[in-house]
């Protein structure tokens, strides 16, 4: 690009001007690398770990890039040369690179890029390509030959190393792809009169066809969710007796730590017959084109480990593990990933570790006194993606603050001080929720109450789902043998009655555990399904997480493994 720019610039200028401009370019490059680069490093060093770069510094860098563009044009260079050199000295990733991209990426991608593409396309004249077809036939042949050679050169190594055919084709297509960034090069060589209008029109149409066809072909060749399809039962319901309960807990921010530990404490038991293995996954969102990475805690850099909230969280989880004696093991990981790919890191870890359940925080945030604060749409999108592709069961934890404070209160760690309620209507998700709560009943701190809601007109004793529901409830019906377990049944007649009883129960317990999909196809629930605000929580979970519900109850919404 730089060579084309210089050639295009010096085509119609005197030798004196050409030498002057060349010297100006050399001086500019020296200033960028000897002056501007140390300033950039100074900005990075002044920014504390985990904190954003000050807007003053971000804006100063952008102004420097704009000034470099003006400088390039003054000395007869292409306007992109200056910002290109400035961009070379800015490290990718946090703190500065991510700050620049997060602040200006939407403006660039949603405004400037479409305008630039539109202008480039408007400069092309498709009729010239038709009228001068014989003159550009050689260019068309060379373009096709280059495409085929590049495709074969990419495909051959993939097949040699025995990559699946679909993945090999996908990789080859991606590496052969012509993007909109090439429009800048096309315009440069057109302005330099190195190509004709007909050739320019052909290249523009070729790139547009690439952009339209390649994504469609890739979606047919490669489905990321396919690798998470599991032909084994990886859920709590089908877990072998006395086997390790493998759980992955995901954390987005510091306030997720206390709620997660409070929940894990309910599952821990002094009885070594019910061990749990916890993989804590810290989720760090990346911005821009940085490569995602999933690393174990003992491989992290020292700076990240000591200066971020992750270090404090690790100490809290270590304390939890020590309190669990030999029945609890904790391993920590950190996933640096883009928002759209974060669920893939979680699913990959769950698949590799043969986990039975993934626990993720809800996107709905609450204040310390249980009042609604905000909805995080990014976390909600992540949870929805996990519900569709997770290779095991998944639980979404909604913490209003009261449960996490009570669960972590050392002074209140006595028998039966945590009340857990289970609303059971029926279906595989409700049965999975029951299986999870069965692990809690072995904890002397927990009192479990199962409330089964029945619709009399829909009870079919010979229905297979009804039989499975009764089998799952069998252990809870023997209340006389378990001091910390209660079981009750209530017959409902309408959705309004269900809403009323759920609202009442929300004030009776510290934590409510519900299934996401209770197999609700009954007309009695039509009035409730129409008002669902957070579909990822299901009907009952959404009702318990409603902003209007004046309760401090926390909720765990459970979905059984889907990818089978």
Looking at residue 308, its pLDDT comes to: 67
Instruction: For residue 4, name the pLDDT band (cuts at 50, 70, 90).
Output: very low
Over residues 253-278, the pLDDT tens digits come to 888 999 999 999 888 877 777 889 99
> Sign of the CA dihedral 380, 385, 386, 387?
positive
The stretch 421-443 carries a mean pLDDT of 90
Looking at residue 8, its pLDDT comes to: 46
Residue 493 pLDDT exceeds 70: yes
User: What is the value of pTM for the model shown?
Assistant: 0.76
> Is 351 in the same domain as 439?
yes
> Is 141 in the same domain as 261?
no
Looking at residue 306, its pLDDT comes to: 41
Which of residues 122, 151, 181 is at a domain's end? 122
- Report the CATH number that the domain containing residue 526 is assigned in CATH: 3.40.50.620
Give φ, ψ of 447 to 5 degrees: -115, 125
Q: Please, which residues have CB within 8 angstroms of residue 499's CB and are 6 or more apart in sequence?
A: 528, 543
> Is 177 in the same domain as 294?
no
For residue 325, count other CB atoms closer than 10 A to its CB.
11
Question: What six digits make up the tokens of 75?
Answer: 């000395």
Instruction: For residue 455, name the pLDDT band (cuts at 50, 70, 90).
Output: confident
Q: Of 238-247, 305-314, 326-335, 400-409, which range is least confident?
A: 305-314
Which of residues 81, 103, 122 is at a domain's end? 122
Residue 351 pLDDT exceeds 60: yes
| Greater model confidence, 527 or 31 | 31
Q: Please, which residues have CB within 8 angstroms of residue 400's CB and are 6 or more apart in sequence?
A: 366, 370, 551, 552, 553, 554
Instruction: For residue 442, name the pLDDT band (cuts at 50, 70, 90).
Output: confident
> Is 210 in the same domain as 327?
no
> Is 340 in the same domain as 365?
yes
Q: Of 7-16, 19-28, 185-194, which range is least confident?
A: 7-16
> Is 109 in the same domain as 143?
no
- Provide the 3-class DSSP secondary structure of residue 454: strand
| Domain-embedded: residue 229 | no
Residue 144 pLDDT exceeds 80: yes
Question: Could you tell me the residue range of the domain that residue 309 belongs to?
Answer: 245-559
> Is 390 in the same domain as 538?
yes
Q: Please, which residues have CB within 8 angstroms of residue 173's CB and are 6 or more apart in sequence?
A: 151, 214, 217, 218, 221
| Greater model confidence, 475 or 423 | 423
> Is 33 in the same domain as 173?
no
| Domain-embedded: residue 497 | yes
What percent of the chain is predicted at pLDDT more than 90? Answer: 27
Q: Of 195-209, 337-351, 460-474, which range is least confident?
A: 460-474
In 3-state terms, the chain is what percent helix, strand and coil (to 5)? 55, 15, 30
Number of Cα atoms under 13 Å in the Cβ half of residue 317: 27
> Is 451 in the same domain as 514?
yes
Residue 171 pLDDT exceeds 70: yes
Over residues 176-227, the pLDDT tens digits come to 887 777 888 888 888 878 888 999 999 999 888 888 888 888 888 887 777 6
| Domain-embedded: residue 231 | no
| Domain-embedded: residue 236 | no
Looking at residue 230, its pLDDT comes to: 60
| Greater model confidence, 272 or 520 | 272
What percent of the chain is predicted at pLDDT more than 70? Answer: 87
> Is 5 in the same domain as 25?
yes
Over residues 264-313, the pLDDT tens digits come to 988 887 777 788 999 999 998 876 666 778 888 765 544 444 446 788 89
| Domain-embedded: residue 349 | yes
The stretch 406-416 carries a mean pLDDT of 60
The stretch 457-485 carries a mean pLDDT of 74
Residue 11 pLDDT exceeds 60: no
Residue 490 pLDDT exceeds 50: yes
Q: Give the count of domains, the chain.
A: 3
Q: Please, which residues have CB within 8 angstroms of residue 55's CB and are 6 or more apart in sequence?
A: 103
The stretch 2-8 carries a mean pLDDT of 47
DSSP assignments along 125-188, one per residue: -HHHHHHTHHHHHHHHHHHHHHHHHHHHHHHHHHHHTT--HHHHHHHHHHHT---TTHHHHHHH
Which of residues 89, 122, 155 is at a domain's end? 122
| Domain-embedded: residue 81 | yes
| Domain-embedded: residue 128 | no
Instruction: For residue 149, name the pLDDT band (cuts at 50, 70, 90).
Output: very high
Over residues 363-384, the pLDDT tens digits come to 888 877 777 888 889 999 999 9
Instruction: For residue 512, name the pLDDT band (cuts at 50, 70, 90).
Output: very high
Cβ-contact 328, 249 below 8 angstroms: no
Summary mean pLDDT of the chain: 83
| Domain-embedded: residue 234 | no
> Is 330 in the same domain as 388?
yes
Only one residue has tokens 């957070």, namely 534
> Is 197 in the same domain as 104?
no
Residue 474 pLDDT exceeds 90: no
The stretch 492-504 carries a mean pLDDT of 85
């Amino acid at each position: 690009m730089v060579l084309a720019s210089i050639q295009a610039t010096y085509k119609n200028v005197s030798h004196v001007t050409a030498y002057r401009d060349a010297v100006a370019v050399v001086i500019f490059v020296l200033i960028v690398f000897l002056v501007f680069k140390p300033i950039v490093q100074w900005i990075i060093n002044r920014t504390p770990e985990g904190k954003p770069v000050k807007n003053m510094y971000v804006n100063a860098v952008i102004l420097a890039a704009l000034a470099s563009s003006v400088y390039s044009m003054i000395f007869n260079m292409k306007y992109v040369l200056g910002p290109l050199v400035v961009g070379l000295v800015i490290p990718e990733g946090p703190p500065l690179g991510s700050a620049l991209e997060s602040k200006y990426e939407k403006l660039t991608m949603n405004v400037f890029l479409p305008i630039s593409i539109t202008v480039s396309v408007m400069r092309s004249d498709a009729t010239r390509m038709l009228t001068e077809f014989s003159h550009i036939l050689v260019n068309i042949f060379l373009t096709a030959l280059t495409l085929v050679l590049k495709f074969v050169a990419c495909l051959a190594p993939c097949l040699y190393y025995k990559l699946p055919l679909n993945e090999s084709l996908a990789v080859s297509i991606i590496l052969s792809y012509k993007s909109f960034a090439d429009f800048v090069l096309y315009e440069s060589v057109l302005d330099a009169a190195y190509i004709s209008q007909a050739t320019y029109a052909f290249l523009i149409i070729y790139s547009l066809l690439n952009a339209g066809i390649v994504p469609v072909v890739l979606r047919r060749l490669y489905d990321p969710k396919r690798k998470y399809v599991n032909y084994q039962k990886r859920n709590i319901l089908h877990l072998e007796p006395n086997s390790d309960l493998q759980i992955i807990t995901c954390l987005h921010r510091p306030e997720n730590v206390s709620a997660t530990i409070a929940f894990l404490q309910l599952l821990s038991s002094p009885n070594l017959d019910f061990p749990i293995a916890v993989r804590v996954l810290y989720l760090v969102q990346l911005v821009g084109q940085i490569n995602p990475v999933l690393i174990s805690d003992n491989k992290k850099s020292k700076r990240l480990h000591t200066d971020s909230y992750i270090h404090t969280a690790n100490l809290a989880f270590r304390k939890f593990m020590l309190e669990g004696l030999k029945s609890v093991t904790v391993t920590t990981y950190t996933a640096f990933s883009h928002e759209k790919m974060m669920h893939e890191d979680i699913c990959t870890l769950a698949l590799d570790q043969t986990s039975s359940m993934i626990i993720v925080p809800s996107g709905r945030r609450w204040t310390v006194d249980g009042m609604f604060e905000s909805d995080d749409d990014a976390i909600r999108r992540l949870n929805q993606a996990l519900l569709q592709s997770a290779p095991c069961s998944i639980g979404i934890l909604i913490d209003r603050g009261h449960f996490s404070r009570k669960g972590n209160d050392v002074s209140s760690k006595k028998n039966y001080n945590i009340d857990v309620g289970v609303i059971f209507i029926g279906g595989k998700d409700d049965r999975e929720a029951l299986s999870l709560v069965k692990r809690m009943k072995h904890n002397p701190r927990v009192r479990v109450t199962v409330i089964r809601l029945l619709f009399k007109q829909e009870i079919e004793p010979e229905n297979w789902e009804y039989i499975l529901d009764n089998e799952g409830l069998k252990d809870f019906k023997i209340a006389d043998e378990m001091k910390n377990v209660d079981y009750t049944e209530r017959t409902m007649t309408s959705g309004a009655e269900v809403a009323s009883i759920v609202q009442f129960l929300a004030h009776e317990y510290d934590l409510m555990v519900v299934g996401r999909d209770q197999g609700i196809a009954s007309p009695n629930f039509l009035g409730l399904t129409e008002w669902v605000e957070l579909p990822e929580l299901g009907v009952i979970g959404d009702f318990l997480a409603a902003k209007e519900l004046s309760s401090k109850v926390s909720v765990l919404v459970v979905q059984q493994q889907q990818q089978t």
